[in-house]
Amino acid sequence: MERRPSLLDEYFVRATGARNPKVCFISTGAGDPEEWLAKYYKAFSKLGCRPSHLAFFRKPRRGSIPLTRIERGLLAQDAIYVGGGNTRSMLAVWREWGLDRILRKAWNAGVLLGGMSAGAICWFKYGATDSVLGPGRSSALSCLDFLPGSCSPHFDGEPRRRGDFRNLISSGKLPSGIGIDDGVAVLYQNRQIAEVVSSRTGATAYRIARASGTVVVAPLQATRLHSKPNRRLQATRMKPRAPEPGR
């Protein structure tokens, strides 16, 4: 979600495949700031969807999903959008409330999952996060394991992100993964990359992998979004998929 209705937000809403989709915003990583909630409602109300939110640090208000009925509320959504913030703290709160289990159930039920920054890396097995070392320095973090490998956001937006991610993979602290430039969305389907789109010229996502004792960075082809996006962030998006046995 950007500061105003954006091409990536439009892409996310279109990816639900629903008319007037129900979209829930979760901003746990930033402590559910009121300004973020207001910005979300303003932006997504203009995109033809029915917005709601889940907040653990705010009193109930119009549009909020009751904390006594989290599972029921999220399973009724077409999409769930997660904001940025402190990924480690966000995941700790989610696990305390059982939200990690509920999100997996929503995913298996066909709800589109996505987000930016912390809301992008949380879906992977591991993420490169600045939650521990502070702004600009990344360390490894165990995440939800909905998607394989690792992920680093802000790949071109913060000077040390690219180098830190490469070093974490080179040292074995993180498995091979994907780096995502600001203004780029990666759509996953059946746990595989289906599409990369960008709202910025020259911005894309990259596969980063260990190979023959070195780390290889391979850019992915990105489709440039324009004022009228294709039908078919920094963010990841996961399309509905069939449940996997035992998941």
222, 204 contact by CB (below 8 A): yes
Residue tagged active-site, from 27, 52, 117, 199: 117
Q: Cβ–Cβ contacts within 10 Å for residue 159, how many?
A: 10
Closest CA to 137 of 164, 117, 119: 164
Measured CA to CA, the distance from residue 20 to residue 167 in angstroms comes to: 43
52-86 b/e with 16+ CB inside 10 Å = b?
A: bbbbbeeeeeebbbeeeebeebbeebbbbbbbbbb
* Catalytic (active site) residue 117: yes
Check residue 4 and give its pLDDT: 56
Alpha helices in 76-224, H assignment, sequence order: 87-97, 99-108, 118-121, 161-170
pLDDT band at 134 (very low <50, low <70, confident <90, very high): confident
Residue ranges of the domains in the chain?
A: 7-238
Measured CA to CA, the distance from residue 202 to residue 192 in angstroms comes to: 23
Nearest-Å Rg of the Cα atoms of the chain is 17
pLDDT band at 138 (very low <50, low <70, confident <90, very high): very high
Closest CA to 187 of 92, 120, 108, 99: 120
Q: Rounded mean pLDDT of 9-21? A: 95
Q: Which CATH number fits domain 7-238: 3.40.50.1820, 3.40.50.10420, 3.30.470.10, 3.40.50.880?
A: 3.40.50.880
Q: Rounded mean pLDDT of 5-22? A: 93
Q: What is the pLDDT of residues 180-211, one digit of tens each?
A: 999 999 999 999 999 999 999 999 999 999 98
Check residue 102 and give its pLDDT: 98
Check residue 223 and give its pLDDT: 97
Check residue 226 and give its pLDDT: 85
Check residue 230 and give its pLDDT: 35
Q: What is the pLDDT of residues 54-102, one digit of tens each?
A: 999 999 888 999 999 999 999 999 999 999 999 999 999 999 999 999 9
Residue tagged active-site, from 27, 152, 154, 198: 154
Q: What is the pTM of this model?
A: 0.89
Between residues 5 and 33, the one the model is more confident about: 33
pLDDT band at 154 (very low <50, low <70, confident <90, very high): very high
